[in-house]
Structure 1
C-alpha cells in the first residue's frame, strides 16, 4: 500500500463468508476427503461485492498481482485515498461508531495491564522507562486514551497526514492531563509496509485496526522488521477484527478481515508466539468480533487464552 490505512474504523458491509453446512458427526469422523475439503474451505473467502474466492492466494493475485509493483502500489494508494477523505475525528476514524471508543479502551487497558504486570512488574522501581509505538495511530485516539498513561514515551506511526496533524495537536503537552514524564515523542507519517523502527527502542509495539491493509507478504515483512525495534523482553499487541472463517475483502478501502486461524498461520510465518489472547467485549452485535493478541519473539513459558462462551458470527457492519 502506499499504505494501508492504518487505522481503524467501523464501516458497513453487507457481506460475510457463507456459513458451512451442518454435517452429521459420522461424516466428519469417517470421511478423509471431507476433512480435506473443509481445510481448503478455511482458506477461501468473499469480497464486499459478494464474490467468492477459493483461496487467499487467488484473492491476492487478483488484488496486488504476482510480483507486480505497480498493482501493489495501486492497492495501497487506494486504501490511503479512502482515509484521506475521512474527517480527522474519533467518530470519523471509527466510521461513525465513536461510541465504541469507551469499551474499546476499557478492554485494551485491562489487557495491557495484565501484560505489564507480568512482563515489566518493577519497571518504575528499576528506573526502566517504557516506550511504545502506536501503529496506525490515526488521530492519536489510542495513545491519548491509553498508551500515554502507561508509557514514558510513545511514538505514532500513521500514513494519513491530516490524521497525524490532529494527533500532534491532541497530544501537545498542554492538552494532556498526565505527568511531564509521559509524552508523545515522534510522529512518523510513513506507510506501515515501508517503516523500519529504531533498533531496540520499544517495549510494546501496538498494532490496532490497520494490519488488514497489508498483503500477506508485507504483513510478514513488517513484523520481521519490527522485531528489531523491540527491547529484550518486548512484545507486540495486535488488536483486530476477526472473520469467522477464511477472510473478507473490502473493495472500497482495500482491507482484509482475516480469521483467527489465518492470523495464527501468519504469526507462525513471522516467527511470533502467542503469549496471551483475549476477546473484546461490549461492542454492538452488528460489528465483527475483535481479538487482542500479545505476541512475543520467544516461546513463552505459558499461554493465556480467554475462553469464549461461544464463537462469534460475522455481522453486517465491520470495524475496519
Structure 2
C-alpha cells in the first residue's frame, strides 16, 4: 500500500512513509495475549519479546536521549531506502491488495465529501489534499487526484518520491487539467509543518507507525493549522489486536484501536467516522480508516455513532 505498514506505504507494513510508509504488516503470532490496551498496557516486538507497557518499550527504544530517537528515524528511513520503488515493493510483496485498499478508501472518501463538503460535488470548492507517507504516489494516483484539484505529496524516501513525481506528471495522467499533483515534499512526518489553511483533507496512510507517541501528538497538533475550516484528517492504519507490536526491522509500531483513540484524545481530535477495511488477507494485520475532526462533530453524528455502538458486534 501506499503508505505501507511501514513507512513508505507499507502494506505489510512497508508501504508507509514516515520515512516512507509501510502499508500492511504481517499479523505475526507475536501479538500480546489478552493484554489490555492503552499506553499503560503491554505489547510485544517482532522477536516475541513482551513489554509490560508502551512506556517501557519507548524508554528502551528512544529514551530521553535525542541521539537514540534520531537513530530510530534514521533506521526507519534506511529500511525503505532499500526497497524497490514499485507497488509490490511499498506493499511488502502484497501489491495485489492495492485494488481492495483503494476501493474501500474511495467509498469512505465519497461519504466524507458528501457529508462534510457537499459543495465540492458542484465544483464550488477548490479541493486540496495532502498525502502523507505517499511512497510512490499509489494512493494519490489511484484515488486522491481524481477527487482533489491539487494533491501535495509528503515522503522522506527520495527514490519513492521521484518515482511518484514521474508517475504523476501531467503527460502520464488520465485526469482533467483541473487535477494535478502540485508539491513533492521530501521531508519526514516528524519534521513537517503544513502551510496554514491549505488542505481540505490530510490523508495519513500506513506511515504513522514510524512516529513515537510524542511525535504522533506533535505532528497532528502542528498539522491542524494546515486544514481549511471544516477540513479533516483521514488516518488509515494497521491495527494490533491488543496493546502494540513493535517491528524492530523497519522501526515502526502497530497500535491497537484503543491505543489510537487515546492518542487522538491527546491530540484534541474527535472521531467522526470509522471503517474496517474489507477483503483483507488474514495473514496481515487488520486495517481501519478513521476520519478525525478538530471540532466536536454535530449532534446528529454523535447520535448516529452512539446507535451504532449499541448494535451487536461481530466477534472475530
Q: Give the match's secondary structure for 1:123.
A: helix
How does 1:169-318 map onto structure 2 within 5 Å? 169-301=166-298, 302-303=301-302, 309-312=313-316
Shift of residue 310, structure 1, vs aligned partner: 2.6
Distance in 2 between residues matched to 1:45 and 1:280, nearest whole Å: 23
Matched, 1:20 2:24: no
- Aligned partner of 1:46 in structure 2 is 44
SS at match of 1:129: coil
TM-score (norm 1): 0.87
**CA positional deviation for 1:19:** 2.8
Match of 2:273, SS?
strand
Structure 2: distance between partners of 1:266 and 1:291: 15
1:225 deviates by 0.1
Return closer, same or farther for 1:259/1:39 CA change in 2, 3 Å cut-off. Answer: closer
Report the secondary structure of 2:264's partner residue: helix
Q: 1:184 to 1:308 in 2, by over 3 A?
A: farther
| CA drift at 1:18 | 3.3
Q: Structure 2 CA distance, aligned partners of 1:108 and 1:190?
A: 24
**Of the candidates 42, 45, 62, which is equivalent to residue 60 of structure 2?**
62
Higher CA-based Rg: 1
- 1:165 aligns with one of 157, 162, 166: 162
Aligned equivalents of 2:160, 2:213: Cα separation in 1? 25
Q: Distance in 2 between matches of 1:41 and 1:214?
A: 14
Alpha-carbon deviation of 1:39?
Answer: 6.7
CA RMSD of aligned residues (A): 2.0
Partners in 1 of 2:69 and 2:270 — Cα distance?
29
CA distance in 1, matches of 2:285, 2:92: 14
Return the alpha-carbon distance in structure 1 between the equivalents of residues 184 and 232 of structure 2.
21
3-state SS of 2:209 partner: helix
**Residues 23-42 of structure 1: CA distance to partner in whole angstroms, max 9, x if unpaired?**
xxxxxxxxxxxxxxx57897
**Shift of the alpha carbon at 1:257?**
0.3
Report how many residues are paired: 294
Question: What is the CA distance between 1:308 and its match in structure 2?
Answer: 8.5
Structure 1 alignment gaps of length 5 or more? 22-37, 313-320
Q: Deviations over 1:162-189 (max 9, x none)?
A: 0000000110011110000000000000
Runs of 4+ in 1 over 2 A off after TM superposition: 3-6, 8-21, 38-42, 123-127, 303-312
| TM-score (norm: length of structure 2) | 0.88
Aligned to 1:34: none
User: Match for residue 7 of structure 1?
Assistant: 21
- Is the contact made by 1:13 and 1:48 (CA closer than 8 Å) also made in structure 2? no
CA contact (8 A) 2:20 2:207 kept: yes
Q: Distance in 2 between matches of 1:95 and 1:122?
A: 38
Question: Deviation of residue 20 (structure 1)?
Answer: 2.4
- Give the unaligned 5+ runs of structure 2: 1-6, 8-16
Q: Output the CA distance in 2 between the equivalents of 1:146 and 1:40.
A: 32
Distance in structure 1 (CA, Å) of the matches to 2:266 and 2:25:
29
Change (3 A) 1:87 1:39: closer
Q: Would the aligned equivalents of 1:6 and 1:211 in 2 still touch at CA under 8 Å?
A: no
Find the counterpart in structure 2 of residue 140 from structure 1. 137
Show the 5 A alignment for 1:57-96. 57-66=55-64, 68-96=65-93
